[in-house]
Structure 1
């Protein structure tokens, strides 16, 4: 096993060749690839273009950084280990790795068994970004028992022997991952989730038709997101600010309850659909504040989009969210599961233009500073070289 703390390779950024496998988190992968390339690394990113078309739209090609190679996989990610698509993807990844000859293989954690197989078979140093350390609330029963067996009985023992490094998006998540996997905490590095500026680049630029104080809830409408908490907060906010508007945009199992309660309320706008990338900008540009009333979370891509548009966030103190949303700097923080407290924080932003301006400036500062992709890339390159795993 590689000794903990020693660098994966002693090279400078301009010499690093990174094979980035991002079969599911494609936009994240494209933006990270851009940051790494801007820092001088040579990058090849692997994903299925058809899957990118579905997740982002054909505009994903506009996000492809100059000079970054693409390994085009024939199939989207699958959950089945023993399937022809998984085998084809593994063979393609192995062939491209041999030709590219990377210094490091960087995998984005995924339900895709092809990603795990490539990591286990790689003869180069491997780094894995774990976006969600534990299953989300209400999703535990969706786990594949066979894949769960493979993870704990096959994959993790090999990972510990090979000395694979891990990246998580918060300091609080390092201990959680170490406890779950029994991987030494020194092998787990905190690298923040960069802002998703791709949505700004793809923004169709359609002007918002509303100027009322607006709260946006965006993304997956699932129990762990605290949809019920926000639904209970809506009338409390409306009592104080009658002209306020709420926008729910996304798909998921919890949206039906929102539609049942607010389906005929003209002040509550519901988009029960997967929002196309070019339409995301309109929703965030019309928002005064983004709501993140999560009951549990590791990190939040929605916050990464909000800050890219300079929109402040009211979030809960769960997971690594307090490491990104800093109270009274770029947003406000609330304890989870408290509709009254959440409503009060939303009202503070909606009622106070000076506070809103302060938080907007803080969101832009975060997006241009520690959450920029060049800053994220520098921390990622330091992880590749085996720098100390914790906060600097």
Structure 2
């Protein structure tokens, strides 16, 4: 099977998907050069990589990009075209042309825009919907998101499929050459990623203030670009507990942060899913997450952390205190997180489920009137 992946981003997810398909399909990988230039070493050499001049959204040179992608489609004649994000405005215009050659699948990471997410909000809502409307099939990362996508995009269940977010392994690979901090008293909590309003950073800070002195040695790292958590210092119980890195975090620093933490906290007020969760799992780090989007279901189903209600600083404080006080619980959650990364969300295993989806889509395309071709749900 020949698969053309078109991957404007997110880069970590796209690389994990592409690498997971190696050995199970012939993979052609079309990506923006400016986003993947420094990441080429993490892409399996068996993949046919095309790094394209990919203009910014407002540039009329995007017409040249669409022409180049259409030439590539015609040249390689793929069996499946899979666009790994629906947040690139111009691609929706070319999808009707590509569908004449092969079925087009699009991955939707966020069915709706998160509050305060300035990055995604730059794309007009109609652009994201246009990409989905023009595709043959849609992929999301959980059953709740599947239902939401069916409702928002008016697509039947047979055209909306669930594939898990694969493990992102490259930071753990980098960390193998690093030294972890010495073990000590207290709890080192990490919140990593884009610091926008929906991430619930204010709730985590309120939770820290509620804890007062219950966790001696508590240390919280808030790392990532976006809004500066330092602006919330008036909510902090003890500002000395915080390490705030309000900027882009280079890869080696990301690896060190996950290596050094005891727990990864996702205190989101609203979410669909999170790429931070599969990074934490590859480091075998337990999680504390809020019950939003697919986060709660993923953590509960696989026993890899604690789940609390969103917008509940008191519950978040209790979860932190519980993990700090119970070494055995923390170790058990960590062990299951590590097994989760090499089991259900291992890139090769997700790749196998993805190939199975592609095969069923092709079967359906060849037999459009058959009623006994099942849809794809959560992979086994």
User: Is the structural similarity TM-score above 0.5?
Assistant: yes
Q: How many Å apart are 1:246 and its aligned residue?
A: 0.8
The answer to whether the Cα contact below 8 Å between 2:193 and 2:223 also exists between their aligned partners in 1 is: yes
Cα distance in 1 for partners of 2:225, 2:334 equals 27
Q: Which whole-Å deviations, capped at 9, do the CAs of 1:298-335 have from their partners, x for residues lacking one?
A: 10011111001110100011111123212782101011
Match of residue 343 from structure 2:
369
Match of 1:32 in 2: 17
**CA drift at 1:203:** 3.3
In structure 1, C-alpha distance between the alignment counterparts of 2:122 and 2:246, rounded to whole Å: 28
Alpha-carbon distance in structure 1 between the residues aligned to 2:194 and 2:237: 18
Q: Which residue of 2 aligns with 1:101?
A: 77
Distance 1:94 1:283 in 2: 41
Q: Trace 1:196-211 onto structure 2 (pairs within 5 A).
A: 196-203=168-175, 205-209=177-181, 211=183
Of residues 259, 271, 296 in structure 1, which corresponds to 2:270? 296
Q: Please, which of 161, 182, 204 is the counterpart of residue 154 of structure 2?
A: 182
Contact 1:293 1:314 in 2 (8 A): yes
- Do the aligned residues in 1 keep the contact of 2:230 with 2:244 (CA within 8 Å)? no
Q: Does 2:359 align with 1:385?
A: yes
Gaps of 5+ in 2: 361-373
Q: Do the aligned partners of 1:288 and 1:350 also contact (CA within 8 Å) in 2?
A: no
SS in 2 for 1:326: helix
The answer on whether the counterparts of 2:133 and 2:153 sit within 8 Å (CA) in structure 1 is no
Are residues 339 and 61 of structure 1, via their aligned partners in 2, closer, same or farther at CA, if it must alter by over 3 Å? same
Counterpart residue number, 1:84: 60
CA displacement, residues 193-212 of structure 1 (integer Å, 9 cap, x when unaligned): 11110112233744344634
Q: Does 1:192 align with 2:164?
A: yes
What is the correspondence of 1:110-259 to structure 2 with a 5 Å cutoff? 110-122=86-98, 123=100, 124-139=102-117, 143=121, 147-149=124-126, 158-159=134-135, 164-203=136-175, 205-209=177-181, 211-212=183-184, 213-253=187-227, 255-259=229-233
**In structure 2, do the counterparts of structure 1 residues 335 and 157 end up closer, same or farther at CA, with 3 Å as the change threshold?**
closer
TM-score, reference length from structure 1? 0.86
The number of residue pairs the alignment matches comes to 362
Change in 2 beyond 3 A, CA 1:208/1:258:
farther
Question: How far off is 1:264 after superposition?
Answer: 8.2
Q: Which residue of 2 aligns with 1:347?
A: 321
Task: Classify 1:374/1:295 alpha carbon distance in 2 versus 1 (closer, same or farther; 3 Å).
Answer: same
How far apart, CA to CA, are the structure 2 residues paired with 1:190 and 1:90? 28
1:105-139 alpha-carbon deviations (Å, 9 max, x no partner): 00012432233233232021111111111100234
How many Å separate the matches in 1 of 2:22 and 2:200? 37
Task: Confirm or deny: 8 A CA contact 1:328 1:359 kept in the other structure.
Answer: no
Check conservation: 1:203, 1:280, Cα contact below 8 A.
no
C-alpha change, 1:36 and 1:142, in structure 2 (3 Å) is closer
Q: Does 1:17 align with 2:23?
A: no
